[in-house]
Amino acid sequence: MDIEFPSEFVWGAATASYQIEGAWNEDGKGQSIWDTFSHTSGKIYNGDTGDTACDHYHLYKKDVALMAELGLHAYRFSTAWTRIFPEGRGKPNRKGRDFYDALIDQLLDQEIDPWLCFYHWDLPQALQDKGGWQNRDMVYWFADYAAFVAEAYGDRVKHFLILNEPNVAALLGHMLGLHAPGKSDFMTFIAASHHFNLATGLVTERLRSLSTEWQLGTVLNLQPVHPEKDTDEDMEAAELFHALMNRNVLDPLLKGQYPNETEAMLSSVVQDDDLRQIAQPLDFLGVNCYTRMLIKSDKKSPFSIAQASPPKGSELTAMNWEVYPKALYESLKNLQENYGNPRVFVTENGAAYKDELNARGEISDTARIRYLERHLEAVKEAMEEGANVSGYFVWSLLDNFEWAEGYAKRFGLIHVDYETQKRTPKQSFSWYQDVIREQGFDRS
């Protein structure tokens, strides 16, 4: 075997509540910011919504059977806050709570370890109406919700993920207005960024006081940032973007400080003791990585930071993201070299391609297989050089609602026909099945 992983390496796949569940207003579920956003005209490609998505709420048993066929060790999913607390706080909704009970039991019946993420972006609209992540009170509302969920399922769930990609939620949802709640304001971005960090620390502390048996981590999107050109201006812009996107989450969580570049911007929202509160030791860090970020200086853009296009001739995925496996290697090495080599799981990696069923009704997604192989090679290389990586989760198990891109972009190992809800495992599904069985693969 060319690329072989240790026998205890965890192989998983990931999804998120809003992207797959559907049943947006069933069984007492409340409205989330993504329900509101997707129902607002002009926000989502093609006017798509997550109302039905993959109908996983009703089809979860079939989906777990597919996970078992795939041979997954672990399944990463998120709970929809509004299924459990329709208004975000107050009286829990029994039926919503029962859904995750049933899902978790089904996973355990198939010997698949449930990895539960408390928050993958679908904030209750009722809390957004009180200011959402811009409001410091959110931190405490979130901690109450997370503690409730951990106590409800923590007899069977051992791995909890606190937030999914708070840095992306802060940027796309609060600064660029491309994701819910659709805000475009720098100070809202700054406040949300800090409150996400504070929430991570507070939840860690709360959960530790409830049980010592849980493995606690959080999930960050870490993209290495490269200057387009080796000019001082581009390098400076890249350094600042790296501070805003990567170090603004990594430094407070793992070093108890904000980067010099962003400290002054945050001064109006950071209170005494916040940094101590944030820097609670985690058991592991979840790393999501898809590509690198190329940055150029542009005087007309805020902070002179602009995204540059991938170099001419680059291989791109259907998201127009450059295929650049070294990004994952660099992210893992950065954690090893600059952050004390924490225990890491790659909690998302994958690619969207224009998958089409052939005449035999099959999907031969060889580009995705090649993408995944090259990224696993990058993980292996980092591990051989000492990076502390313990597992890998493909994004995603199923094709699903890709946020502002609606259903146009398919990331799944399993194709979903959204008209009929028919699931068709792609060639990458069989490939991943073999990888898990063999703990690796031969280079193609």
Query: Considering the complex, what minimum distance in angstroms separates the CB of residue 400 from ligand IFM?
Result: 7
Considering beta carbons, is residue 11 or 321 the nearer one to ligand IFM?
A: 321
Q: Are strands 215-221 and 225-227 parallel, antiparallel or unpaired?
A: unpaired
Query: Considering the complex, what minimum distance in angstroms separates the CB of residue 329 from ligand IFM?
Result: 19
Torsion of CA 84, 87, 92, 97, to 10 degrees: -10
In the stretch 378-397, what mask flags binding to ligand IFM with x, by CB under 6 A? -----------------x--
* Using rule CB under 6 A, residue 288 touches ligand IFM: yes
* Using rule CB under 6 A, residue 16 touches ligand IFM: yes
Applying the rule CB under 6 A, the residues between 77 and 136 that interact with ligand IFM are none
Q: Are strands 344-348 and 284-288 parallel, antiparallel or unpaired?
A: parallel
Applying the rule CB under 6 A, the residues between 176 and 235 that interact with ligand IFM are none
CA dist 388 and 309 (Å) reads 32
Query: Considering the complex, what minimum distance in angstroms separates the CB of residue 264 from ligand IFM?
Result: 30
Active site residue 348: yes
Q: Among 130, 289, 142, 265, which residue's Cα sits nearest to residue 204?
A: 142
Applying the rule CB under 6 A, the residues between 147 and 176 that interact with ligand IFM are 165
Catalytic pick among 21, 228, 330, 348: 348
CA dist 207 and 162 (Å) reads 10
CA dist 290 and 222 (Å) reads 9
Which of residues 55, 122, 322, 348 is near ligand IFM by CB under 6 A?
348
Residues written for the chain: 444
Query: Considering the complex, what minimum distance in angstroms separates the CB of residue 4 from ligand IFM?
Result: 28
SS3 295: strand
Angle at 70 between CA 69 and CA 76, to 5 degrees: 115
Considering beta carbons, is residue 16 or 285 the nearer one to ligand IFM?
A: 16
Burial class (CB in 10 A: 0-12, 13-18, 19+), 144: middle
* Using rule CB under 6 A, residue 399 touches ligand IFM: no
Which of residues 240, 402, 407, 413 is near ligand IFM by CB under 6 A?
402
User: Any idea which residues carry the catalytic annotation?
Assistant: 165, 348
**What residues line the site for ligand IFM (CB under 6 A)?**
16, 19, 165, 288, 348, 395, 402
